[in-house]
Amino acid sequence: MSEGRIVAAAGAHNGAHTGEEHRIVQRSVGNKVTVVLGAQWGDEGKGKVVDLLAQDADIVCRCQGGNNAGHTVVVDSVEYDFHLLPSGIINPNVTAFIGNGVVIHLPGLFEEAEKNLRKGKGLEGWEKRLIISDRAHIVFDFHQAVDGVQEQLRQQQAGKNLGTTKKGIGPVYSAKAARSGLRICDLLSDFQDFSERYKVLAQQYKSMYPTLDIDVDGELEKLKVYVDRIKPMVRDGVYFIYQALHGPKKKILVEGANAALLDIDFGTYPFVTSSNCTVGGVCTGLGMPPQNVGEVYGVVKAYTTRVGIGAFPTEQTNEVGERLQSRGKEVGVTTGRKRRCGWLDLVLLKYAHMINGFTALALTKLDILDVFEDIKVGIAYKVDDELIPHFPANQEILHKVEVQYISLPGWNTDISNTRTFEELPENAQKYVRFVEKHLDVPVKWIGVGKSRESMIQLF
Ligand code: GDP
Ligand code: IMO
Ligand code: MG
């Protein structure tokens, strides 16, 4: 505990002048949160890393995004998929927390829980272990419908869309920024007032998109049913996190959704999602100070994938890409779309590290590279024959960057059963060390398969 710098005269507020100095001692910082963030374009294996860390965690939080995320966790051969629920909820000792920065589609939340409940034991008692911030915004069915209409219009008007997940993410965060959104606290207060505001919002969308079909009464009726179901879960999120940080020692995890290159500010705009998926989103999405951010783990797939539209400098639209896609079973968890695939891009990862300050990395899906003779890694970008030191903001420039590659020898060995770094073939070790050295961030875990056990821990 450090001594504070705030000094006040004792009794200054009650007028008593004792001459004695009263020092206000600064509190200890409290517990730190461990953050897991996607470092590429999503689907790096965050769910699996969180599951591993959640084994001895007390609280697992989501701070941004909605059910556009799709996180897979494989336990005892059962494959669970999480979209809105923090993956750590699968551990019966974990309290899961959905923070204010998350956008919640209530029917989606319950469907997700019920679907996972049918798969295995992991979700038993979930309703008692989930806490929802009262400041989180609500995604309505019409936000999802608007997402679809906007995509259609983009296609008609600009000849291309964004390839969103159609989960209403763009529309609901737009409504939040426009200050017309509705939050969980509104749903739980006076339902009559809530209904009026809901109707105004629905009307706004109807006037913007006249073809939109909104069943106002039907949706309000459905929402009313959720009031009693979620009431026991809802808390003042800021106070909940404050208590968690300053109460007894606790292990608190934050599960990032989406990823750095999909971040609304730092991603490949406009082909991004609508929230901050980088480290700043942890503070704004949970309501906590930066000094409580502890380890920041970046999850990096050993190659690169991207779902949807947008520039992708190391993409391989050839046999290599197809091989990565089929070996890696690269199909979106949320939309079922095939993921585009390419080589690892260290320029992009350096950029993600500049923003997030990763303290260590989890390098996942190294096993997918088992069959390649040579493995390429993008290490620099050239624009008009000049090397550039930064990651370009402009999509047109990103489309025309010329990637400089280095070729590393493959290992042609099945590594899926290795459990220590030393057991890995020499060339696989070299691949990992190359990534580490280039980014100047240690690799703490290496993924060699889907299951919880298929993870090598280095330190
Ligand atoms: P997330 O969105 O970052 O949680 O990742 P997804 O769940 O969308 O996609 C990652 C996929 O890769 C899932 O199907 C995981 O089961 C799988 N996976 C994760 N780590 C590994 C790994 O190290 N090796 C293999 N072969 N599969 C993995
Ligand atoms: P996880 O958490 C991969 C992509 C969509 C689309 C763009 C905008 O599983 O890594 P949105 O519906 O958010 O408005 O779509 O962002 N996208 C993801 N791609 N993994 C994700 O999440 C994604 N979340 C959003 O494909 O291109
Ligand atoms: Mg995913």
Residue 215 in domain: yes
DSSP state of 29: -
Ligand lying closest to the C-alpha of residue 67? 2
Alpha carbon of 70 to ligand 3 centroid (Å): 4
**For 233, phi and psi rounded to 5 degrees?**
-90, -20
List the CATH number of the domain containing 207. 1.10.300.10
Regarding whether 184 and 63 lie in a shared domain, the answer is no
pLDDT greater than 80 at residue 15: no
pLDDT tens digit sequence for 64-108: 999 999 999 999 889 999 999 999 999 999 999 999 999 999 999
- Which of 364, 366, 419, 454 to probe ligand 1 with, by most ligand atoms within 8 A of CB? 364
**For 442, phi and psi rounded to 5 degrees?**
-70, 145
By alpha-carbon position, which residue is closest to atom 3 of ligand 2? 42
pLDDT greater than 90 at residue 169: yes
Q: Pairing state of beta strands 103-104 and 137-138?
A: parallel
Q: Residues near ligand 1 with C-beta < 6 Å? A: 38, 42-48, 70-72, 74, 333, 364-365, 367-368, 447-450, 454
Rounded Cα distance, 443 and 234, in Å: 37
Alpha carbon of 312 to ligand 2 centroid (Å): 15
Place of tokens 């006076």: 190
- Which of 50, 82, 164, 166 to probe ligand 2 with, by most ligand atoms within 8 A of CB? 164
By alpha-carbon position, which residue is closest to atom 10 of ligand 1? 45
Regarding whether 452 and 377 lie in a shared domain, the answer is yes
By alpha-carbon position, which residue is closest to atom 2 of ligand 1? 43
Residue 193 in domain: yes
- Which of 274, 307, 365 to probe ligand 2 with, by most ligand atoms within 8 A of CB? 307
Rounded Cα distance, 275 and 257, in Å: 9
Residue 6's pLDDT band (boundaries 50, 70, 90)?
very low
C-alpha to C-alpha distances, 82 to 62, 139, 196, 268, 327, nearest whole angstrom: 11, 17, 33, 25, 22
Opening angle at CA 82, ends 267 and 246, nearest 5: 80
From 125-134, 138-147, 328-337, the region with the lowest mean pLDDT: 328-337
> What percent of the chain has a predicted confidence (pLDDT) above 70?
96
- The reply to whether 71 belongs to the active site is yes
**Last residue within a domain, chosen from 184, 214, 232:** 232
CA 402 distance to own-chain centroid: 29
Regarding whether 185 and 149 lie in a shared domain, the answer is yes
Ligand lying closest to the C-alpha of residue 41? 2
Find, among 79, 60, 72, the residue nearest to 120 by Cα: 79
Q: Which atom of ligand 1 is nearest to the CA of 81?
A: 7
Please name the residue ranges forming H helices in 232-316.
237-246, 280-286
Regarding whether 218 and 261 lie in a shared domain, the answer is no
Residue 449 in domain: yes
> What's residue 361's pLDDT?
98
By alpha-carbon position, which residue is closest to atom 20 of ligand 2? 42
Using an 8 Å Cβ cutoff, are 82 and 73 in contact? yes
Ligand lying closest to the C-alpha of residue 71? 1
C-alpha to C-alpha distances, 342 to 75, 211, 240, nearest whole angstrom: 28, 39, 42
Structure tokens at 42: 């999503």
Rounded Cα distance, 362 and 44, in Å: 9
Beta-bridged to residue 185, according to DSSP, are none
pLDDT greater than 50 at residue 185: yes
> What's residue 7's pLDDT?
40
Q: Give the domain range for residue 204.
A: 137-232
Residue 24 in domain: no
- The reply to whether 353 belongs to the active site is no
Q: Which atom of ligand 1 is nearest to the CA of 448?
A: 23
By alpha-carbon position, which residue is closest to atom 18 of ligand 1? 450
Q: Residues near ligand 2 with C-beta < 6 Å? A: 38, 42-43, 68-71, 162-165, 167, 169-170, 257-259, 262, 271, 273-274, 307-308
Ligand lying closest to the C-alpha of residue 42? 2
Place of tokens 């750590």: 88
pLDDT greater than 50 at residue 215: yes
Gyration radius of the chain over CA positions: 24
DSSP labels, 155-181: HHHHS------SSSHHHHHHHHHTT--
Structure tokens at 450: 């889907």
The residues, any chain, with a CB within 8 Å of residue 313's CB and separated by 6 or more, are 342, 345, 347, 348, 378, 381, 398, 401, 403
Regarding whether 59 and 93 lie in a shared domain, the answer is yes
pLDDT greater than 70 at residue 17: no
Q: Which atom of ligand 1 is nearest to the CA of 74?
A: 16
Q: H/E element holding 320?
A: helix 319-327
> What's residue 20's pLDDT?
64
Alpha carbon of 72 to ligand 1 centroid (Å): 6
pLDDT greater than 60 at residue 18: no
pLDDT greater than 90 at residue 254: yes
Regarding whether 63 and 50 lie in a shared domain, the answer is yes
Alpha carbon of 72 to ligand 3 centroid (Å): 7
Structure tokens at 267: 């991603």
The SS3 assignment for 56 reads helix
Average pLDDT over residues 167-171: 98
Regarding whether 365 and 217 lie in a shared domain, the answer is no
Alpha carbon of 73 to ligand 2 centroid (Å): 18
DSSP state of 91: S
SS3 annotation, 278-302: CCHHHHHHHCCCHHHEEEEEEEEEC
Interhelix angle 426-439/346-356, nearest 10 degrees: 50
**Given 58, 71, 263, 353, the catalytic residue:** 71
Q: Which atom of ligand 1 is nearest to the CA of 449?
A: 24
Using an 8 Å Cβ cutoff, are 369 and 344 in contact? no
Structure tokens at 272: 């991004």
By alpha-carbon position, which residue is closest to atom 6 of ligand 2? 164
> What's residue 308's pLDDT?
87
Between 27 and 55, where is the model more confident? 55
pLDDT greater than 50 at residue 302: yes
Using an 8 Å Cβ cutoff, are 48 and 453 in contact? no
**For 191, phi and psi rounded to 5 degrees?**
-70, -30
Regarding whether 273 and 403 lie in a shared domain, the answer is yes
Ligand lying closest to the C-alpha of residue 271? 2
Residue 198 in domain: yes
> What's residue 3's pLDDT?
36
> What's residue 19's pLDDT?
56
Regarding whether 156 and 83 lie in a shared domain, the answer is no
pLDDT greater than 70 at residue 54: yes
**For 67, phi and psi rounded to 5 degrees?**
-90, 25
Average pLDDT over residues 16-30: 72
> What's residue 113's pLDDT?
96
Regarding whether 330 and 278 lie in a shared domain, the answer is yes
Alpha carbon of 42 to ligand 2 centroid (Å): 7
Residue 41 in domain: yes
| Amino acid at the residue 231 | K
**How many C-beta atoms lie closer than 10 Å to residue 269's C-beta?**
15
By alpha-carbon position, which residue is closest to atom 8 of ligand 1? 43
Burial class (CB in 10 A: 0-12, 13-18, 19+), 42: buried
Residue 122's pLDDT band (boundaries 50, 70, 90)?
confident
**How many C-beta atoms lie closer than 10 Å to residue 322's C-beta?**
13
Handedness of CA 377, 268, 101, 83 (dihedral sign): negative
pLDDT greater than 60 at residue 1: no
Q: Which atom of ligand 1 is nearest to the CA of 71?
A: 4
**Last residue within a domain, chosen from 232, 249, 277:** 232
Residue 11 in domain: no
In residues, how long is the chain? 459
pLDDT greater than 50 at residue 293: yes
Regarding whether 352 and 418 lie in a shared domain, the answer is yes
Using an 8 Å Cβ cutoff, are 298 and 352 in contact? yes
Rounded Cα distance, 5 and 288, in Å: 21
Average pLDDT over residues 249-257: 98
**Last residue within a domain, chosen from 183, 210, 232:** 232
Residue 145 in domain: yes
Q: What is the mean pLDDT of the chain?
A: 94
Number of domains forming the structure of the chain: 2
Regarding whether 298 and 165 lie in a shared domain, the answer is no
